[in-house]
Amino acid sequence: MRSTRPRFLRSGLVSALTGLTALGALLFAAPGAQAADTPLRDLAAAKGKLIGSAVNPAKLTGTYGDIAGREFNTVTPDNAMKWESVEPSRGTYNWGPADQVVAFAAAHGQQVRGHTLVWHSQNPGWLANGSWTPAQLSTILQDHIAAEAGRYKGRIAAWDVVNEPFNEDGTYRSSIWYNGLGQDYIANALTWARAADPSAELYINDYNVEGVNAKSTALYNLVRSLKQRGVPIDGVGLQAHLILGQVPATLQQNIQRFADLGVDVAITELDVRMQLPSTSAKLTQQAADYKAVADACVAVARCVGVTVWGFTDSDSWVPDVFSGYGAATPYDEAFAPKPAYHAIAGSLGGTTTPPDPGTGCTAAYSVVNQWNSGFTGQVRISCAGAALSSWKATWTFGAGQTLTQAWNADCTQSGAAVTCTNASYNGTVPDGGSVTFGFNASWNGSNPVPVVTLGRTP
Ligand code: G2I
């Protein structure tokens, strides 16, 4: 079985524990300090999953670069590896931006998802407007794949070799490739990609194939037939450009049926767009949608992970294309994590994020340090869309844990039930901001993460 999973460049679990210990020490030294949440990549790696984002190489500095490097264990160049970017005129290659993404990934111990070798869109004018015999077109395609996949040989974990080959009804999309070469352009592209980079996982990637429908069934039938013919195909990419509240009910079933064909599945371009302006209710629904997608991937062993198509609302294709829609990503335009971010973290097991329609805020619980008899916990309350005042966070310890000390909140425990109310100085969680409190507790045997419920004190 080919799989991207053994290729982690650092052990997520080990780095997560190392990071947690460091955070724990920080808290002991300065109990009032705000500690960061466990990065998504460490949570994902502990589950053997990938968590990624499309990235724009021109932006990989400052806060954008910090988040891209810290939170994700795979990156996909958003446009830099597309044909018009790398070969704007015939035989003249511009590798600069693509090289930047590959170098960034190497520096941050990340995989790269290559995107994309064969597509109907974003082709250079010389190619799209040329008139080619089938033999010429075939040579052009083979040369392009050999050049690009060859350049990055051994450095790309997975290639979206073929992008968006189907129409909504499951027929083949009319394109320069299908019209000129027939449906076997797909098999040939996969075969040439394997020859150029034998270690890369080879994918077909498409949108509106997340649930069981005519288009995903056409993709399913294609993959089955490619496998039967011995054509190299290792995975399918479900892009998942979704609309608020519309995660297909058959998502997990669909992932599973591809897995049962003997290929991997990746969620490759997740975003959840909403009609603007965003409200706390919409952000709560969006968090539930992100969680549903991540949960479906976590539930199927051959689902290798989830990549979001841009991690911040300031870097999303959505507002440019869907007028009046936006706010589709897990971070807002000012790089503050939204409820969707905490929902992904919750799905990956690190924190819990009950949607709280009453407050529009989320509470993220995490264990930031743990030793043989005790642990340090942290709860971060984040609000987006509305502020929260006079807050109360409650949970039930599931395995006999007992609070010994708390800071930045007044906490009491009665039996297994813990109630923490704000301290005098942090009773307001601003819209778009967060408040963090911490505690020490004892544990014995196991230390499961509880679900935190948010409320207001009377
Ligand atoms: O359309 C969303 C995605 C659907 N699946 C395939 C992905 O490759 C695709 O990504 C988007 C990029 O995120 C956009 O950034 O593909 C678009 C093109 O189809 C990209 O937009 C284009 C703009 O339309 C151009 O005006 C611009 O010059 O990006 C170009 C480069 O910045």
Q: Which domains does the chain have, with CATH numbers?
A: 36-347 (3.20.20.80), 361-456 (2.60.40.290)
Q: Which amino acid is at 114?
A: G
pLDDT of residue 357: 57
The percentage of residues in the chain with a pLDDT greater than 90, rounded to a whole number, is 78
**Residue 256 in 3-state DSSP?**
helix
79 C-alpha vs ligand 1 centroid, how far in Å? Answer: 6
Handedness of CA 247, 250, 256, 258 (dihedral sign): negative
Which among 56, 75, 79 is the best mutation to test ligand 1's pocket, defined by most ligand atoms within 8 Å of the CB? 79
268 C-alpha vs ligand 1 centroid, how far in Å? Answer: 14
Atom number in ligand 1 closest to CA 54? 13
Q: What is the pTM of this model?
A: 0.76
Q: Give pLDDT tens digits for 392-423.
A: 999 999 889 999 999 999 999 999 999 999 99
Residue 2 has pLDDT above 80, yes or no: no
Which protein residue has the closest C-alpha to ligand 1 atom 10?
A: 78
Q: CA-to-CA distance for 127 and 140, rounded, in angstroms?
A: 9
210 is catalytic: no
Mean residue pLDDT of the chain comes to 90
pLDDT of residue 165: 98
Residue 105 has pLDDT above 90, yes or no: yes
Handedness of CA 284, 290, 296, 299 (dihedral sign): negative
Q: Which residues of 144-160 are buried (b: 16+ CB within 10 A; e: fewer)?
A: bbeebbebbeebbbbbb
- Pairwise pLDDT comparison (432 vs 142), residue with the higher score: 142
Using the 8-state DSSP alphabet, how is residue 269 labeled?
E
356: pLDDT confidence band, cut at 50, 70 and 90? low
- Pairwise pLDDT comparison (316 vs 7), residue with the higher score: 316
Residue 348 has pLDDT above 80, yes or no: yes
Distances 458 to 142, 364, 417 between C-alpha atoms, Å: 69, 23, 19
How much of the chain is in helix, strand and coil states, percent to nearest 5?
A: 35, 30, 40
> DSSP letter string over 32-60?
TSPPPPPPHHHHHHHTT-EEEEEE-GGG-
What does the pLDDT average to over 252-280?
Answer: 98
Q: CA-to-CA distance for 284 and 356, rounded, in angstroms?
A: 7
pLDDT of residue 20: 39
pLDDT of residue 358: 65
What does the pLDDT average to over 121-139?
Answer: 98
64 C-alpha vs ligand 1 centroid, how far in Å? Answer: 19
Residue 25, token pair as written in the block = 């020490």
pLDDT of residue 39: 94
122 C-alpha vs ligand 1 centroid, how far in Å? Answer: 8
pLDDT of residue 247: 98
Q: CA-to-CA distance for 353 and 341, rounded, in angstroms?
A: 10
pLDDT of residue 432: 78
Which of 287, 437, 427 is CA-nearest to residue 354? 287
Q: Write out residues with Cβ below 6 Å of ligand 1.
A: 78-79, 121-122, 163, 207, 239, 269, 317
Length of the chain, in residues: 458
What does the pLDDT average to over 11-33?
Answer: 34
Atom number in ligand 1 closest to CA 163? 6
pLDDT of residue 218: 98
Burial of residue 62 (CB within 10 Å: 0-12, 13-18, 19+) is exposed
pLDDT of residue 355: 46
Which of 316, 253, 323 is CA-nearest to residue 286? 316
Which protein residue has the closest C-alpha to ligand 1 atom 32?
A: 79
6: pLDDT confidence band, cut at 50, 70 and 90? very low
pLDDT of residue 384: 74
pLDDT of residue 36: 54
> DSSP letter string over 180-249?
HH-THHHHHHHHHHHHH-TTSEEEEEESS-SSSSHHHHHHHHHHHHHHHTT----EEEE--EEETT---T
55: pLDDT confidence band, cut at 50, 70 and 90? very high
Residue 200 has pLDDT above 70, yes or no: yes
pLDDT of residue 22: 36
320 C-alpha vs ligand 1 centroid, how far in Å? Answer: 9
164 is catalytic: yes
